[in-house]
Amino acid sequence: MLCPYPDCGQDIPPAAHVLYCSSCAQPSFLCPHCGTANRTFARRCRSCGKHINLADLLALPTDRFAQRELGRVQPIKLGEVRGLCPELTVYGGYLWGVSFYGDLYKLARTDTRLKTCGKLPGNGFIYPLFVDEDDTKGPLLYVNNTDRLYRFYLLTMRYEEVLALDNAGESFASGVVNFKEHYYFLLRKGERGETVVVKCKGTDEWEYPLTGLSLLDWLGNPLRRIGDSLWVFTKEKLLIFPKFARAAVTELAWTPWRIFLSAAGVWYSEKESSDRFGEKQTLTRVSFEEQKINAGSFRDLLPITDKIVINPADGHLAIVSAQTIRVLDFNLNVVGSSKPGTFDDIGTPDGLLLSPDILFWFEAAKQTVCGWPIKLENKVWQLSSFASPINFSGFFLNDSCLYGLAHEEIWRWDLLGS
């Protein structure tokens, strides 16, 4: 079978998951309708022309490595990025990222070092990347700093400026979401940025002032698309714009301590008053159905020291305490729980990542990267340990590989082997 990339055309070795060319090392996949090899960014098969659901084709085979005896997996240090945005994006068999200085990065399973795939003018790129799929233009990557929005074409690796804030006293206060040829973002106005509005830019333009509300500075992007609605997160209220319409906005008053985002909705925790047993936190999940906000609370009060992590794809959530781990689905049901004695001591877990089958984290006290297969209740993997001090702040999964961010370094563990 020949490589589908026009600058290559060499043979592709057979594989059960993502295919990699033996010459150019670029990923591709087989059309589920006719079996033709296509580039990972293809929206329609180049042979039969049928639509391709990329998300389904690139679903991680977690059941395969969940049954594997991982033991210790040797990591590869891929390089360092100065000022890397900590929220990376998985798309098309690659892991994408942007630095504060406008350097765009992409990583595939076959890469042995970190390298740039593009450079944007200016700096101040602190917001997460946003991917949009277009049937005519192919997949698009949107990235912005405080005054410019750029569109990056993944098929050609070229960019163009699509929106500029040239008015004095105006700046972006969030990343940008594109929906039906309209751009949505938070806009700061005034010499000191004292006024913040939700802005829609396109054929139909509108603004919604966030009067009396303050942004959550610790949330990477306080504006997100969940389902077919626009969600805006402030310290005092959650605002939802159904179908991105200004007139139908719905509000929920809250005082969140932490927020956990997913495609199904969000979870958030709130602090409770301290008592003789220590400070506690409550846990609530929020969805938007039938044009109204639905909220449900987990029945247990949790110690403030418990760590919480969400699977952004399905809204499942893990609660990690000193000796136990519980996994909840989005309907507040416990779907996984560790057996007593599985964990002698979970001291200082950092950078937690919840996949459908495995919970990963960095045990800072032991300088060890760990994995707990949720279906194997009494089993814990130690992927690797570090002799020199290191601290992983976040992990990502892409094409059967675990990626870890340690300050400005990027590491990778191949969970399936070569």
Flag whether 270 is in a domain. Answer: no
Q: Identify the DSSP state of 84.
A: B
pLDDT band of residue 51 (cuts 50, 70, 90) is: confident
Q: Is residue 343 a contact partner of residue 380, using CB atoms and an 8 Å limit?
A: yes
Instruction: Give the tokens for residue 368.
Output: 């060890």
- If 0-12 CB within 10 Å is exposed, 13-18 middle and 19+ buried, where does residue 391 land? middle
Residue 398 lies in a domain: no
pLDDT digits (tens, 9 = 90+) for 363-383: 988 899 988 888 776 778 888
Do 132 and 243 lie in a common domain? yes
Residue type, 147: D
Three-point CA angle 314, 42, 44, nearest 5°: 95
* Antiparallel, parallel or unpaired: β 302-303 and 280-289: antiparallel
Same domain, 55 and 133: no
- Mark which of 253, 285, 301 sits at the end of a domain: 253
Residue identified by tokens 């952004």 is 312
> How many domains is the chain built from?
2
Give residue 59's pLDDT band: very low, low, confident or very high (50, 70, 90). low
Q: Pick the last residue of a domain from 59, 84, 107.
A: 59
- The verdict on residue 341 lying in a domain is no
d(CA 326, CA 318): 6
Query: Does the pLDDT value for residue 57 go beyond 60?
Result: no
Is 353 a member of any domain?
no
Is 198 a member of any domain?
yes
| Average predicted confidence (pLDDT) for the chain | 87
Same domain, residue pair 38 and 134: no
Predicted TM-score (pTM) of this structure: 0.89
Note the pLDDT of residue 322.
80
Q: Is 325:372 a contact under the CB 8 Å cutoff?
A: yes
**Do the beta carbons of residue 359 and residue 366 sit within 8 Å?**
no
- Check whether residue 229 and residue 135 sit in a common domain: yes
With respect to residue 33, please indicate whether it lies within any of the assigned structural domains. yes
Q: Going by C-beta distance under 8 Å and a sequence separation of 6 or more, which residues neighbour residue 155?
A: 39, 41, 138, 139
Among the residue ranges 37-46, 216-225, 286-295, 407-416, the one predicted with the least confidence is 37-46
Looking at 30, 59, 88, which one is the last position of a domain? 59
- Domain of 50 in residue numbering reads as 1-59
Residue 340, in any domain of the structure:
no
* 331-to-238, 261, 266, 299 alpha-carbon distances in Å: 20, 15, 12, 12
Instruction: Report the helix count and the strand count for the chain, using DSSP H and E.
Output: 2, 37
pLDDT, tens digit, 9 for 90 and up, residues 387-403:
999 999 999 998 788 99
> Is 190 within the bounds of a domain?
yes
> How many C-beta atoms surround the C-beta of residue 113 within 10 A?
10
What is the number of residues in the chain? 418
Q: What is the CATH number of the domain that holds 205?
A: 2.120.10.80
